[in-house]
Amino acid sequence: MQHNYSLQPYNTFGIDAKAKYFSRFSSVEELELNLKHYANEPLLVLGGGSNVLFTQNFDGLVLLNCITGIEVSDDDDEFIYIKVGAGENWHQFVMHCLANNWAGLENLSLIPGSVGASPMQNIGAYGVEIKDVFHSLNAFCIANGEIHTFDNHKCQFGYRESIFKRALKNQYVILDVTFRLSKKANLRTSYGAIQQELFSKGITTPSIQDISAAVIAIRQSKLPDPKALGNAGSFFKNPVVSKQRFEALQQQYPDIAHFLISDTEVKLAAGWLIEKAGLKGFRMGPCGVHDKQALVLVNHGSSTGQQILDLSTHIIEKIKVQFGVSLEREVNIIPPHENII
Ligand SMILES: Cc1cc2nc3c(=O)[nH]c(=O)nc-3n(C[C@H](O)[C@H](O)[C@H](O)COP(=O)(O)OP(=O)(O)OC[C@H]3O[C@@H](n4cnc5c(N)ncnc54)[C@H](O)[C@@H]3O)c2cc1C
C-alpha cells in the first residue's frame, strides 16, 4: 500500500495526479482485503489508465487490477471460448489469439489498456466491437462481495457504452472476461483504410494476421503513441443526429463525413467537425488537439487534467455554435464533474 502516490505512470495522458492510497490486487482475496481495510474511501479501479483524465488528486483508494491468466474454457465445432484475467494487457491478448489462429479480435489490435476495461465502453475499432465476440464476464459486487456473471444481454452494450458506465457505474470490479472466438475467420475489411493497406502490400487473400498487421500500420500512422505524447485516444464520441438534422447540415457542408446507422439516424465524425471548426492542431497552453487526428487531445508535456478538461469544454462549445451538434466525452473524467457541459 502506497500513500500519496503519483499516478503519472498509470495514465496515458501522463497527468501527475496523486492517489491518497494506491495498491495492486492479483486475486479476489487481495481485492477483498484492500476493500476491507479502506471501506470508507472512494474507490477507483485502474487498468492501463488509457481512458481516464485525472483533473485533480484522487482522494481515496486507487487499485490496479493485476489479475492474469488466459485459458480455454470450452470449445465446439465453430467456436472456442477463452477466459481471460481482467489485468491482462489487451493487445498482448489479441496477439496470443492470432498466434493460435482464433479469429474475431484482429480488427481490435493495438488498442491500449487491459482486458477488464474492454467491456466498460464496449471498445471498438475498424468495424468491430467487443460485443461481437463477447460471451460473458465475472464481476465482484463492491456492496456485498458476491461474484455475479453478466452475459452479452446483461451488459447492455451500446456505442462506447455498457451497463458498467451507466446504471451500475462504480458498483462492480470486473475480474475476468470470456470471449467467443471463431475457428473459421469471418474477415471484416471494408472499414477505414484496411483494404487500401492490404492492396498496397499486394495482399489479395488476407489472413487474420494480415488484417491485424494492416490495422496496426494504420493506427501507428494516425495515432500518437502515448509514450511519446500523452493522450487517451478519441476524446469524444462520434455524435448521432436525426436524419433531418443531418440533411440540413449536408446542405451547408456537402462533404460532411457521416455514416447512416438507421432510417432515422446518422452518425457524424467528431474528428471531421473539430477539423472543420479550424481546431486541428489548436493549442491551449500545454495541451492541444493532435495535428494529425483532431479527435485526439494531447498533453504537450506539463498539462494538468483540468487544462485538458477546459480544452474539451472549449471544443464542445465551438462545435455547438458552428454545427448545433453536442459532443459527448468518451474519456472518463476522474473525479466525475457534475456541472460540466
Ligand atoms: C492511443 C489510444 C488509442 C485508443 N484507441 C481506442 C479504440 O480504437 N477504441 C476504443 O474503444 N478505445 C480506444 N482507446 C481507449 C482505451 O484504450 C480503451 O477504452 C481501453 O479499454 C481502456 O482500458 P484501460 O485498462 O486503460 O482502462 P482505464 O483507463 O484504466 O479505465 C477506464 C475506466 O474503466 C474502469 N475500469 C478499468 N478496469 C476495470 C475493472 N477491471 N473493473 C471495473 N472497472 C474498471 C476505470 O475505473 C475507468 O472508469 C484508445 C486509447 C489510446 C491511448
pLDDT digits (tens, 9 = 90+) for 7-42: 999 999 999 999 999 999 999 999 999 999 998 999
Domain membership of residue 202 (yes or no) is no
Which of 50, 163, 216, 231 to probe ligand 1 with, by most ligand atoms within 8 A of CB? 50
Cell of 262: 438507421
What spacing in Å lies between the alpha carbon of 136 and ligand 1's midpoint?
A: 18
Three-class secondary structure of residue 78 per DSSP? coil
| CATH code for the domain of 26 | 3.30.43.10
Return the amino acid letter for 189: T
CA distance readout (Å), 2 to 10, 18, 68, 100: 14, 11, 22, 39
Domain boundary residue among 43, 65, 87?
65
Instruction: Name the closest-CA residue to atom 53, ligand 1.
Output: 232
Give the catalytic positions in this structure.
Answer: 160, 234, 330
Residue 191's pLDDT is: 84
The 10s digit of each residue's pLDDT in 198-215 is 999 999 999 999 999 999
Q: Total domain count for the chain?
A: 3
Find cell 443526429 and name the residue: 241
Q: Are residues 37 and 105 in the same domain?
A: no
Contact 113, 48 (CB under 8 A): yes
d(CA 325, CA 249): 10
Q: Are residues 255 and 299 in the same domain?
A: yes
Domain membership of residue 197 (yes or no) is no
Bridge-based pairing of strands 43-46 and 58-65 is parallel
What spacing in Å lies between the alpha carbon of 335 and ligand 1's midpoint?
A: 16
The pTM (predicted TM-score) of the whole model is: 0.97
Structural domain of 108: 70-182
Which atom of ligand 1 lies at the shortest distance from residue 160's CA? 11
The 10s digit of each residue's pLDDT in 61-98 is 999 999 999 999 999 999 999 999 999 999 999 999 99
Domain membership of residue 201 (yes or no) is no
251, β-bridge pairs: none
d(CA 326, CA 341): 9
